[in-house]
Amino acid sequence: MGCPSCGARLADGTLVCTQCGTLVNAEQLNALANEAMRAEQENPYAAAQLWRRTLDFLPRDSEPYAAIHQRIGQLSAGMPADAIPPVAPPIQHRRERANDPWPLAVAKTVGSMLLSVLIYANLLPGGWRFAAGFVALMLVHEMGHVVAMWYYGLSASPPIFIPFLGALINLRQDPPNAKVEAIVGIGGPLAGTVGALICYALYHYVPALHTELMLDLAYFGFILNLFNLLPVPPLDGGRITAAVSPWIWMFGLAALVLVFLGQLFLQHTFNFVMLLILFFALPRIRATLRAHGRDNPYYRISRASSWTIAGLYVTLAAVLILATLGTQYLIHYRFGHDVGF
Ligand SMILES: [Zn+2]
């Protein structure tokens, strides 16, 4: 028989055209599926057999194939291993996009960096030196993510700088599991903290750099990376703590809401960035907690990995809290002004 849509020659009984994906024999598929659904209550064995038959006609990389394959697995859970003939697992297409050629990637990053420096230099009190230093610190943070992604061979966009939102990298490929996502997540704050510590060391050890600018850069570097450790997606802390338990996000969410309301009612400032983070966080939290509840293999990582990530996270957060308070005190003591974010 031929496909009514593209005319490709198809084997008898085919349900979905192998060339164009059109449903060729919808009634037959519906009949089988209805029969299988009716059988599920009284005779799961028969239902699994019927579902098994529909798979012969469906492409292995289609959504229905994956869904039905999963249903057969659930129905045959209590049955002897050989009750249902073996079923080929679905083929999962990863939505992969290749990396940009490197001149384009560099152009995107450097272009958006220059734009950010220009805007910060004009709108922030620190002038262009502070703007350039701050954007460089953000680049160090982003390169930490990039190195971790290179290590795991993950495809991603180059870092793009967005004035007043910082910088971001879009993963073009899903990480294989929560452990890899956590390591890619902690790479940024880890590198960023080293960058801010270098600013502090330059301030401390190089007499020519014993300036307020250097100390300000160290301070804002510390607080930037500390903020990114808040355990809530889409921040880095959200990606890291998901490897321990996504329920930790509840603390991050509560902290975000408290900070937002505190600023609104006590300081009378409306923090748009916070609102934006909340806006992105809520749907992701809902979806992940649901998937997590279903014992998703994505979150099945070894206990040792979970503990290592948790230890790294707590250590880094403690270092950043101390460093932030320390530099804040130094700036007040040495230069007589108070910094806040
Ligand atoms: Zn980051």
Structurally, how many domains does the chain consist of? 2
- CA dist 270 and 221 (Å) reads 23
CA of 331 to the centre of ligand 1 (A): 26
Nearest one of 177, 183, 113 to 144, comparing CA atoms: 183
Query: Are 184 and 256 in a shared domain?
Result: yes
For range 65-77, the mean pLDDT? 80
- CA dist 75 and 204 (Å) reads 66
CA of 186 to the centre of ligand 1 (A): 8
The answer to whether 52 touches 71, Cβ cutoff 8 Å, is no
The answer to whether 268 touches 210, Cβ cutoff 8 Å, is no
- CA dist 50 and 40 (Å) reads 10
Last residue of a domain, one of 93, 112, 142: 93
Query: Are 109 and 43 in a shared domain?
Result: no
Mean pLDDT score of the chain, rounded to an integer?
A: 85
CA of 142 to the centre of ligand 1 (A): 6
CA of 242 to the centre of ligand 1 (A): 15
CA of 251 to the centre of ligand 1 (A): 19
- CA dist 155 and 149 (Å) reads 7
> What number of helices (H) and strands (E) belong to the chain?
11, 2
For residue 63, is it within any domain? yes
CA of 330 to the centre of ligand 1 (A): 26
CA of 185 to the centre of ligand 1 (A): 6
Query: Are 209 and 254 in a shared domain?
Result: yes
CA of 137 to the centre of ligand 1 (A): 11
- Reduced to 3 states, what is the DSSP secondary structure of residue 86? coil
The set of residues, in sequence order, having a beta carbon less than 8 Å from that of 243 and lying 6+ positions away, is: 178, 179, 181, 182, 299, 301, 305, 306, 309
| Residue 127: predicted pLDDT | 86
What are the start-end ranges of the H helices in 206-268? 212-228, 236-241, 249-265
- Reduced to 3 states, what is the DSSP secondary structure of residue 276? helix
Query: Are 45 and 192 in a shared domain?
Result: no
CA of 234 to the centre of ligand 1 (A): 9
Last residue of a domain, one of 70, 93, 116: 93
Query: Are 34 and 152 in a shared domain?
Result: no
The answer to whether 124 touches 145, Cβ cutoff 8 Å, is no
Q: Which pTM was predicted?
A: 0.70
Query: Are 233 and 199 in a shared domain?
Result: yes
CA of 225 to the centre of ligand 1 (A): 8
The amino acid present at 173, given as its one-letter code, is: Q
The answer to whether 178 touches 308, Cβ cutoff 8 Å, is no
* Tokens read off for 232: 């809530």
The amino acid present at 16, given as its one-letter code, is: V
For residue 265, is it within any domain? yes
CA of 263 to the centre of ligand 1 (A): 24
Comparison of pLDDT for 10 and 219, the residue scoring more: 219
CA of 151 to the centre of ligand 1 (A): 16
For residue 50, is it within any domain? yes
Query: Are 130 and 261 in a shared domain?
Result: yes
For residue 340, is it within any domain? no
pLDDT tens-place string over residues 237-258: 999 998 888 889 999 999 889 9
pLDDT tens-place string over residues 289-335: 777 665 677 888 888 999 999 999 999 999 999 999 999 999 988 88
Reply yes or no on whether the pLDDT at 191 is more than 80.
Answer: yes
Query: Are 84 and 140 in a shared domain?
Result: no
| Residue 341: predicted pLDDT | 47
CA of 162 to the centre of ligand 1 (A): 13
pLDDT tens-place string over residues 13-67: 666 666 666 666 677 778 888 888 888 888 888 888 888 888 877 777 777 788 8
CA of 189 to the centre of ligand 1 (A): 6
Query: Are 119 and 87 in a shared domain?
Result: no
- CA dist 151 and 112 (Å) reads 25
CA of 141 to the centre of ligand 1 (A): 6
| Residue 292: predicted pLDDT | 66
The set of residues, in sequence order, having a beta carbon less than 8 Å from that of 83 and lying 6+ positions away, is: 45, 48, 76
Instruction: Determine the structural domain holding residue 64 and report its residue range.
Output: 1-93
Reply yes or no on whether the pLDDT at 197 is more than 80.
Answer: yes
- CA dist 106 and 112 (Å) reads 10
Q: Is the CA virtual torsion 19, 23, 28, 31 positive or negative?
A: positive
Q: For residue 208, what is the DSSP state?
A: G
Query: Are 70 and 204 in a shared domain?
Result: no
Query: Are 23 and 127 in a shared domain?
Result: no
CA of 8 to the centre of ligand 1 (A): 49
In which residue are the tokens 């003939």 written?
85
Q: Burial letters for 148-186: b for 16+ Cβ neighbours within 10 Å, e otherwise?
A: bbeeeebebbbbbbeeeebbebeebbebebbbbbbbbbb
